[in-house]
């Protein structure tokens, strides 16, 4: 049995025939070849697979593709400005050394973008709480929080 799905991925219209049990993360990685969305745990515990669904951070390993029918999906590949420069959050992660191995980074950045976009003027404590669903085994989170605080004013939110 096949299911026809229509949605937008990184501002591109996509139509696909998929199995009804296809996960969003599987579709992005295997059908769209957007491998920046990582699979870490398959249980929605680590956040490595986080993408934006209609602007809201969602763990894509825990959602069926059918559940996002008609939605706008944004992956780490989709946040790059047209001129090829880094998104302000990516630039801040780079400047603040908010990554080490990089495995959690795409999901962490997508969650941080959601946090800053929807919770303007977040304090350090609020940023830490907002990123709680994303695990990083390398950094200790201090530089990640610094990066979010640095990017927030550029993106239009968060207290310095």
Average pLDDT over residues 80-85: 94
Return d(Cα 91, Cα 103) in angstroms, integer: 17
Domain span at residue 150 reads 88-155
pLDDT exceeds cutoff 60 at 159: no
Residue 121 falls inside a structural domain = yes
Structural domains counted in the chain? 2
Based on the fold, state whether residues 73 and 118 are members of the same structural domain: no
pTM (two decimals): 0.93
Q: Specify whether the CB–CB gap between 46 and 39 falls below 8 A.
A: no
Average pLDDT over residues 62-82: 97
pLDDT exceeds cutoff 80 at 8: yes
Please identify which residue in the block is written with the tokens 């990123």: 131
Interval 25-56: pLDDT, tens: 999 999 999 999 999 888 888 999 999 999 99
pLDDT exceeds cutoff 60 at 61: yes
Residue 12 falls inside a structural domain = yes
CATH number (domain holding residue 13) = 3.10.20.30
More confident residue, 100 or 53: 53
Q: Answer with the one of 79, 105, 121 that is the final residue of a domain.
A: 79
User: Which strand (E) or helix (H) includes residue 148?
Assistant: helix 142-155
Q: How confident is the model at residue 62 (pLDDT cuts 50, 70, 90)?
A: very high
Residue 160 falls inside a structural domain = no
What is the length of the chain? Answer: 160
pLDDT exceeds cutoff 90 at 58: yes
Based on the fold, state whether residues 20 and 67 are members of the same structural domain: yes
pLDDT at 137: 87
Based on the fold, state whether residues 115 and 151 are members of the same structural domain: yes
Q: Answer with the one of 79, 108, 128 that is the final residue of a domain.
A: 79
Residue 96 falls inside a structural domain = yes
Can you name the residues that pair with 137 across neighbouring β-strands? none
pLDDT exceeds cutoff 50 at 160: no
b/e for 132-154, b at 16 or more Cβ within 10 A? Answer: eebbbeebebebbbbbbbbbbee
Q: How confident is the model at residue 157 (pLDDT cuts 50, 70, 90)?
A: low
Q: Specify whether the CB–CB gap between 35 and 29 falls below 8 A.
A: yes
Can you name the residues that pair with 8 across neighbouring β-strands? 13, 72
Over the chain, what is the mean pLDDT? 93
């Amino acid at each position: 049995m096949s299911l026809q799905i229509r949605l937008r991925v990184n501002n591109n219209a996509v139509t696909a025939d998929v199995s009804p049990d296809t996960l969003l993360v599987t579709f992005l990685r295997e059908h769209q070849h957007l491998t920046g969305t990582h699979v870490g745990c398959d249980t929605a515990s680590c956040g490595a697979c986080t993408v934006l669904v209609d602007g809201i951070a969602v763990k894509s390993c825990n959602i069926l593709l059918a559940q996002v029918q008609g939605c706008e999906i944004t992956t780490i590949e989709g946040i790059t400005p047209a001129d090829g420069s880094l998104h302000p959050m990516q630039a801040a992660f780079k400047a603040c050394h908010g990554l080490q191995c990089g495995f959690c980074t795409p999901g962490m950045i997508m969650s941080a973008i959601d946090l800053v976009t929807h919770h303007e003027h977040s304090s350090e404590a609020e940023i830490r709480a907002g990123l709680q669903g994303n695990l990083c085994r390398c950094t200790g989170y201090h530089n990640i929080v610094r990066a979010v605080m640095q990017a927030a004013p550029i993106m239009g939110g968060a207290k310095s």
